[in-house]
Amino acid sequence: MVKIVEGTVLEIPFIKEIAEETWPHTYGQILEPLQLRFMLDTIYSKNTLEQAMTEGSQKFLLLKDLDGYQGFAAYGRRPNEPAVFKLHKIYVRPTCQGKGYGKMLIDEIKSDLRKQGITFLDLNVNRHNPAKEFYLKLGFKVIREEDIPIGPYWMNDYVMRLILDP
């Protein structure tokens, strides 16, 4: 049985654990080890996650099966763009990829956004990340490239957009 629950500060240890497991698998061939560690420590610090949750800038969803938490996603409204939400994070443990868990998380987000009358869901994906193909299969389209500084490093991304049907 698979279920999706809203994440709270109590689930931060599980989010961090999944990130620590998935990032080396996802980005190990794309980023240098020091950059990977820096980004994990920055994006997934307890304080950063807690702030995103308590300030309400991101809603976190966790996917749980009989073996425990296997994936998570976080999304929130884009500042100054009321009709656009951004998928900030989505990761599924490598051992659970291919089971449809990522699609389940995105479907849950789409359902929530449709109820709110939201038209667009954007995301950033590293230009060398094979996950781009997963997003294309779900209907996302590349709308531009974006290079974002993070500390002494850069995130070299595609911005992808999904148009949500009513």
Alpha carbons 80 and 8: distance in angstroms, whole number: 26
Q: How sure is the predictor about 20, in pLDDT bands with cuts at 50, 70 and 90?
A: very high
Token couple for 153: 């490093």
| Mean pLDDT (the chain, rounded) | 96
Tens digit of pLDDT for each residue in 118-138? 999 999 999 999 999 999 999
Alpha carbons 58 and 15: distance in angstroms, whole number: 14
Whole-number pLDDT of residue 82:
84
Alpha carbons 141 and 145: distance in angstroms, whole number: 12
What integer is the mean pLDDT of 65-84?
Answer: 94
Residue 50: which CATH number? 3.40.630.30
Dihedral sign (CA 110, 116, 122, 123)? negative
Structural domain count, the chain: 1
Question: What is the domain extent for residue 86?
Answer: 3-163
Alpha carbons 60 and 53: distance in angstroms, whole number: 7
What integer is the mean pLDDT of 68-81?
Answer: 95
Q: Give, to the nearest 10 degrees, the angle between helix 33-43 and helix 12-27.
A: 160
Tens digit of pLDDT for each residue in 34-56? 999 999 999 999 999 999 999 98
125 near 138, Cβ under 8 Å?
no
What integer is the mean pLDDT of 19-28?
Answer: 96
Q: How sure is the predictor about 97, in pLDDT bands with cuts at 50, 70 and 90?
A: very high
Alpha carbons 45 and 43: distance in angstroms, whole number: 6
Nearest CA to 163 out of 121, 124, 102, 108 is that of: 121
Token couple for 132: 């781009």
Q: Is the pLDDT of residue 143 over 90?
A: yes
